[in-house]
Amino acid sequence: MAQSSRYAFTPCGHKCVCHLCAVAVSRSERRCPICRTKVVRILKIIDP
């Protein structure tokens, strides 16, 4: 929770994790920590 949220999950669209947490989710149960939807893809969000 100390890092900025730069990764989002599909299909739910929640932008809620940093790089380290995105890696942890991809290695574990692959569920969004907010809504518990099965994660299909993890997208890096690039702010302008």
**The pLDDT of residue 7:** 96
* pLDDT surpassing 80 at residue 34: yes
13-44 in b/e form (b: 16+ CB < 10 A) is ebebbeeebbeebeeeeeebeeeeeebeebee
* pLDDT surpassing 70 at residue 1: no
Q: Is the pTM of this model over 0.85?
A: no
In this predicted model, what pLDDT tens digit does every residue of 2-20 receive, in sequence order?
A: 788 999 999 999 999 999 9
Average pLDDT, the chain: 92
- The token duo for 27 is 């290695």
